[in-house]
A and B are shown apart, each in its own frame.
Chain A
Amino acid sequence: MHEFSLVSCLLENACDAVAGHGDVRVTGISVRVGSLCQVVPALFRTAFEAATAGTRFEGARLALTTVPALVRCAGCAATFHPGDVFWVCPDCGAPGGEVVEGDDLILECIELEPVYESEAAHAD
């Protein structure tokens, strides 16, 4: 259950990204979830909701896109999408391989909207 740690990392990255954009409200965050990065989307959403409560990210739409694993064969360098825990190259039959895609959690983009002065004053 490391989703909470990952969400805190995500929010630190997101805070850095929105710094310098003035008074803004974050309305959406898009994240690419590699299928090998051991993240359970439902747990990630729960952690996101808990971690963002009371922050500028509260209520932001979290868009998670799954990136399938792509592996390069160590034997013949062919790339393939493994269909099983045990990777087998469909071209030469060699086991294992090196991950090309699908191992990362990537913050793709953030959607913002300005907080208007009257609104900000009201919030104060």
Chain B
Amino acid sequence: MMLKPNWQAISAAVLTLLLLFWIPFVPGGAVSSSAILVLISVAIVASMLQFSNRLMVLVLAVAGHGAAFLLLGQLSGNEGEAGTGYFLALAATWLLGWRLVSVLSDEEVAIFNSSITGIIVPTIFGLWLLVLWEAIVRGAGVPFVLLPPPSAVGVRIAASLPILAADFNQTVLKAVLFGFVAGSGAGFLTAILADRYNFLAKGLLPIGNLVSALPIIGIAPIMVIWFGFDWFSKAAVVIAMTFFPMLVNTLAGIRNTGAMEHDLMRTYHANHLQALIKLRLPNAMPFIFNALKINSTLAMIGAIVSEFFGTPVVGMGFRISTEVGRMNLDMVWAEIALAALVGSLFYGGLALLERATTFWHPSYRK
């Protein structure tokens, strides 16, 4: 049987040989350290043998992640005690993870079809991010106030669900949603008006392009003075931030129709409104969704940052700024995780909606 070497496995093998001198990696971990070395060696050999690719991926995944799991397990009771051996072992398992991702994303091997690969590979990458974060922070004994390990953040999330729910309700369900809908809606309507009256478009487009470069978030203190501490002021900031992206994109989309389609509409004797509804708005859908996606991110940023300027005692931005002051970094990270989750779901939901409603559009045809 021929061996097919790869650089990740060879580097991992070199590390493994070195590691023989460092057992145990942490005090009192001789058995688990040996087990880790065995798992790493199995994964190295499997990655170089030329047999079934599926089996190789399976062995790599199980042995590599088994080793990582054991490594994380070694940390309990040994925080800050991990030495060179521990981190070398971590590097070896990480190299194997890298190898796994390389094999999975190799188009010639093609173990899964591309859409499943598109989910699995980033997931493995994300998992490794968490593993490395956990292992380095706890292994090297990084102070809690600097960077809490993901496990502590997870515990904190589980312990403070009611607070997170209240903050979510205040910031997302009130400020973000209202501002997003009102701002995008106003931008959309203005774009339709500007399309009808070219003078308006000529006046608004340069201003819109200019405003896109301005730090609009700076109006937050003014909005707080005008509309008070509650969520109205945050929604106002969100409206201001989402209006122009929607206006500029919708207008560009509406005007993106070709001369041929317009001629067709004219032969149908369609009036402006009919042409708008039957031809130009459907054609503008990808542009509109692009603006909605941009706005979903802007709305979250706008609402959270505006809360730094004054809020009632609830809200994601409020929680972040106060808990930072009290050095409760795990709570801050819990809020960030919540914001990340909401932001991703928001964006993902819009992307799904786009797939469902604009699948027929020429830009999606293969």
A and B together in one complex: no
